[in-house]
Structure 1
Amino acid sequence: MNKALLALLVLLLATAVILLAWAIAEPHLLDTDYFRLGPKGKSQRLRLSAASARPAQRDASSLRLAFFSDAHARFLFIPVRQLLARIRQAGVDAVVFGGDFSSSEHDLPKAMRYMRELAAGLSEAGIPLLGVMGNHDEYLSRDTAEQTGLILLSNDSVLLPAADGKPWLLTGLQDLKLGTADLTRGLATWHSAAARLLRPAEQQTIEGRPAQLPATPEQIPANRRIVLAHNPDTILSLPEGLFSWVLSGHFHGGQIRLPFRLEYKMLRHDRLCKQGYDQGPYTWHKSGLFISRGLGCVLLPFRFLSRPELSILEFSPDR
């Protein structure tokens, strides 16, 4: 074997070892990203203040959410304590989960323990945890999910008051694989926990109204409506003008990113990822779409160029 060929083989082997080591390490490395999301799909990545790991300024009318998706408990390597610490630092009003608790029925107990520990830690800080089911959650019942302390939304809505007391609406939709993502029904139906989520001050009055909730969620203006749906392709079937942002996951940011988006072309039938919509904020007609890279891994315990993600999202109704 000539020396040039031997050197090439050694280089290729070393490169393969380095790439494999990185793919094994990356699922343990949590990114925390901050965005301000405004009407009509406007988005801005926020800088952190020098003094703390949170955005420096906040409008009283804004709503700040921590968003993560795709736990896939079997290959989830982000400790609950680390996730809790990042969330508490950010000073959020609520935490929302975009679905896929686990990849199979066998992993459900681990997923439920993780969510139970997370919900308990958030409860101590007075922060609610809400979520939807994903395409892998066919083995999970609503009762089982809510026994963890999570409020599960399924074509229904809750109010999340901002600091100025004016409510934002969060509507969670069924996954495309598990049922029908019915926004019309979601805007007509309150979740049973909707009133409980209101702080004492908001229970006295909501925009001048008495203590009860508005008759239907659709009475909240569209620029204060957020939709939570596991699969980003859900937005393709939603009526325009009824919401400000859709929050989704499902794509894992590719999980193992390949040249020319081969991971999407070879392994997925979903439409948006093949069109380049796979992670972060996008403008979609007159609304916005935010796609999380997720926390866990599916099929293999590897990630490459797609680190696990916790997103801190600050929604503004006006800018």
Structure 2
Amino acid sequence: MIYFIIAILLILIYMKIETTFLSKSVINFSTSPKGLKIAHLSDIHINKFYVSAYKLLSALNDAQPDIIVLSGDYIETPKNITKFINFLKLLTKNHKVYLTLGNHDHKALKQDAGNISAFIKAIEAAGAKVLLNSNVKINKNGQSYNLIGIDDLKQGKPDLQKAFKGIEDSFSGGCINIVVSHNPDMVFQLPENKVDYFFCGHFHGGQIWMPFHLEFRLMRSEKLCKMKCYRGLHKVNGINLYINRGLGNVIFPFRFFSPPEMAIVQLP
């Protein structure tokens, strides 16, 4: 019995330590550095964020991305806003940052338009650009990219018509279209022939691994989970979909075989 208790304690200690890890995933859609390089971060959950900021910033500086995109879930309550804004300022000091909101952000702000507006103003005052059903054009070495941010599928108010305003079909316009939204199941709502890449989070890669993917079977109802698309790179409806494991933690301050992740993506 004593050995069982010791084993459980050691596992819990490891699970706590894993929340401080930083895993760097490199996804190359092109071998040429001429295209846009994106650092994708997600699910900060600043109240349960244990990755060293120094470690993260050093990794970002080494990667030298053209932009950083964040795909939602930063706060749990309004009390977390100041801490998140201070974290965001560390990112915007040397990088261009674009982000959208996640379900936890909307819950924290009670889905109130005034609260959401104030949060967006604070974010943009910190130097980041919020893409909430909106888009921005980015140019690099003669190639144009549309970065399209869509509000959260479940707790937000996603408006695809507004988000894609002025966007041509990617196959006819010559512009590469990139979507950032929190919930991976948004992929099933995206318009045909208008999206090349989709960056999201939400699943935490399971956060705490269980045999037979029980963490997804017991806790997730999303369609992609039933398709066994839990984390990493997938091709869905012709779209290159990347599901980030996130940096922070939700409910429990533990991770198990699902370390915090920073994804570096090289586009054509």
TM normalised by structure 1 equals: 0.76
The answer as to 2:151 corresponding to 1:171 is: no
* Aligned counterparts, 1:51-130, within 5 A: 58-60=32-34, 62-120=35-93, 122=94, 127-130=95-98
CA distance in 1, matches of 2:81, 2:221: 26
CA distance in 2, matches of 1:133, 1:79: 23
Q: Determine the structure 2 residue equivalent to 1:151.
A: 129
Of 3, 6, 9, which aligns to 1:14?
A: 6
Distance 1:282 1:300, change over 3 A: same
Higher Cα radius of gyration: 1
CA distance in 1, matches of 2:58, 2:154: 33
CA distance in 2, matches of 1:277, 1:219: 26
CA distance in 2, matches of 1:299, 1:179: 21
- Asked whether the 8 Å contact 1:222–1:242 carries over to 2, the reply is no
Deviation at 1:15, TM superposition (A): 2.3
Which letter does structure 2 place at the counterpart of 1:136?
H
Deviation at 1:117, TM superposition (A): 2.4
Deviations 1:136-181 (CA, angstroms, capped at 9, x unpaired)? 112143212222211000111112222x222111100011133333
Which letter does structure 1 place at the counterpart of 2:154?
K
CA distance in 2, matches of 1:59, 1:113: 31
* Aligned counterparts, 1:1-319, within 5 A: 9-37=1-29, 58-60=32-34, 62-120=35-93, 122=94, 127-138=95-106, 139=109, 140=116, 141-162=119-140, 164-188=141-165, 216-218=166-168, 221=173, 224-316=176-268
CA distance in 1, matches of 2:213, 2:175: 33
Secondary structure of 1:137 counterpart? helix
Deviation at 1:234, TM superposition (A): 0.6
Deviations 1:244-271 (CA, angstroms, capped at 9, x unpaired)? 0110000000111111222122223322
Which letter does structure 1 place at the counterpart of 2:168?
E
Which letter does structure 1 place at the counterpart of 2:15?
A
CA RMSD in angstroms, aligned pairs only: 1.8
- Asked whether the 8 Å contact 1:181–1:234 carries over to 2, the reply is no
Secondary structure of 2:91 counterpart? helix
Secondary structure of 1:161 counterpart? strand
Deviation at 1:222, TM superposition (A): 6.7
TM normalised by structure 2 equals: 0.89
Q: What 5-or-longer segments of structure 1 have no aligned partner?
A: 1-8, 39-56, 189-215
Moved over 3 A (4+): 219-223
The alignment of Structure 1 onto Structure 2 pairs a total of residues equal to 256
Deviations 1:60-91 (CA, angstroms, capped at 9, x unpaired)? 2x211000100000110123222221111112
- Asked whether the 8 Å contact 1:279–1:292 carries over to 2, the reply is yes
Q: What 5-or-longer segments of structure 2 have no aligned partner?
A: 110-115
